[in-house]
Chain A
């Protein structure tokens, strides 16, 4: 469905020297350097998959998405979306994909949402019956009817995001690109949006590529993640597998009976965080049994009220990877 082979994107960057003298010089000449924003990436996505595309800012995430949607042409490599080349067959491909940019709405800001949708109906030649069905679907799941007649400019961020999501699905795209869809949303709206996205993927079988900085988005929605760092693909596979690869250190939360001002533990145990005088999160290395930790605590004369052990979460694993502490 989506084939990416040896994809690369190089940019020319002008370097400017600092200071007053430097800026006068740059009036007539600047040094140029090449930036490999995307460096030889390959992957393929099957129909119905929901893939989380993760990377730090500047890692090459949005550049890849722009190439996949046809906004940028690759420097090297090949992209096929349902057999179409997104940049060569841009207009054609636009009919089979939906895109939501978290930062930029596709609605006409000065028009009521209803009119934006109607314009889209004309642009994408959506059959009136199908259009009505979809509207009912969106009214039902997103509560779109509550603000359907309002000017897009006057919507809250959550309302605008819901409208953008619906708008991107009007023409029944087989692939949906979501770029930071939950950015800036409050918790309740985020959950609603995530549920909607999951429903679209599981029930309607829309293939979804999701880029986000919100780890919880990924944990809730994605089965598969692709991690990109400095233009290169660092990981491509299951989330569960990723967590495992990054080590099986667990996190242990301990509630003590009596408050402890400062807690010291011998290696290899570590204090991750002191939540309060009575509650600490500790790092339990992979090869150490929990019993060993309990022994040490008992030896210190500490009484434990409650102890919980968590598998490390995706956020923790990703942070570890970026910090260089984890190697794949």
Chain B
């Protein structure tokens, strides 16, 4: 037989590419489930972590009744928006947190030699099933919030809610892509990841109006995290707009999410080009 049946170089069609990515994603989820005991321990750890986080807020608000004028039910609503978006992001964009390791150990070079987009390979290879734990947690706090406060739900509201959660996921996801792309320039980005991906969320646990003007500005216009839960919450909770820079901000989540994703993709491409010229 001959190995050199000369291949015509034919690219995969879009749907074929999608199918391949889906297979890679399934493969990565499958392999993560292989280590069942580790997986359960990790899940337990995750839940404990969030329980501690919620308890912290819970203790403060039980004692002080309101924080910045937000009641417990409203705080729970705020939290649920954050965690639901977080769940989507954890599910899809977990692989990208490892990216600086891929650069360091040569795995990324391997990605470059395949006829697929390297970014997609990074993302698809890192689907994280524990994202669902976040989603469940998000819904739990959401239902709890709804028992404490009244929101008048209708079809439009529900649609906006879905749009907000998706937009929030886009904002968080794009931040991860940007931080990962920095690995193209500076090798040890674990602390950067820690800061921007995990720690920055801490701000969002509390309503933005308790922070100083400078911080509010930062979280609205520089790193638009406040659009994930704070601004859209005003819409659902019928809160007055005195803390909003502009009343239209409550609808800003999805548009900003889209813009940020586009920016992050551009930034990634730049980083990849820099890597190919600098060698990492």
Could you list which residues of chain A lie within 8 angstroms of chain B, going by C-beta atoms?
Answer: 9, 11-12, 63, 66, 69-73, 75, 87, 90-92, 94-97, 99, 101, 103-104, 106, 108-111, 115, 119, 122-125, 130, 133-134, 136-137, 169, 171-174, 200, 204-206
Chain A nearest CB from B14 CB (Å) reads 14
| Chain B, range 107-133, C-beta contacts under 8 Å to A | 107, 109-110, 112-117
Chain B nearest CB from A93 CB (Å) reads 8
Does B5 count as interface, using CB distance less than 8 angstroms?
yes
In angstroms, Cα B3 to Cα A172, docked, is: 6
Give every chain B residue within 8 A of A73 (Cβ-Cβ): 273, 276-277
Chain B nearest CB from A306 CB (Å) reads 46
Q: Which residue of A lies closest to B121 (CB)?
A: A123
Could you list which residues of chain B lie within 8 angstroms of chain A, going by C-beta atoms?
Answer: 1-7, 9-12, 16, 19-20, 23-24, 27-28, 30-32, 34, 105-107, 109-110, 112-117, 273, 276-279
Given contacts A95-B7, A169-B3, A172-B3, contact A123 B116 (CB under 8 A): yes
Chain B nearest CB from A208 CB (Å) reads 12
Give every chain B residue within 8 A of A169 (Cβ-Cβ): 3
Give the contacting residue for B110; candidates A104, A136, A172, A174; CB below 8 A.
A104
Give every chain A residue within 8 A of B27 (Cβ-Cβ): 108, 110-111, 115, 119
Chain B nearest CB from A288 CB (Å) reads 49
* Interface contact A125-B16, CB-CB below 8 Å: yes
Chain A nearest CB from B9 CB (Å) reads 5
* Interface contact A92-B3, CB-CB below 8 Å: no
Given contacts A71-B276, A72-B276, 7 further A-B contacts (CB under 8 A): A72-B277, A91-B11, A95-B115, A97-B113, A136-B1, A204-B4, A206-B4
4 A-B pairs closest in CB distance: A110-B31, A204-B3, A94-B115, A104-B106
What's the A-B contact tally at a CB cutoff of 8 Å?
Answer: 107
Given contacts A73-B276, A103-B106, A110-B34, contact A172 B113 (CB under 8 A): no
* Interface contact A106-B1, CB-CB below 8 Å: no
Give every chain A residue within 8 A of B110 (Cβ-Cβ): 101, 104, 106
In angstroms, Cα B273 to Cα A125, docked, is: 27
Give the contacting residue for B4; candidates A90, A104, A110, A174; CB below 8 A.
A174
Chain B nearest CB from A134 CB (Å) reads 7
In angstroms, Cα B276 to Cα A326, docked, is: 36
Given contacts A96-B9, A206-B4, contact A71 B31 (CB under 8 A): no
In angstroms, Cα B272 to Cα A90, docked, is: 12
Given contacts A69-B113, A122-B23, contact A101 B106 (CB under 8 A): yes
- Subset of 30 A-B contacts with CB under 8 Å: A9-B279, A11-B278, A66-B109, A69-B112, A69-B113, A71-B109, A71-B276, A91-B115, A91-B116, A92-B11, A92-B115, A94-B113, A94-B115, A95-B7, A95-B9, A95-B115, A96-B7, A97-B113, A101-B110, A104-B107, A109-B31, A122-B23, A123-B115, A123-B116, A124-B115, A130-B5, A137-B1, A174-B6, A204-B4, A206-B3
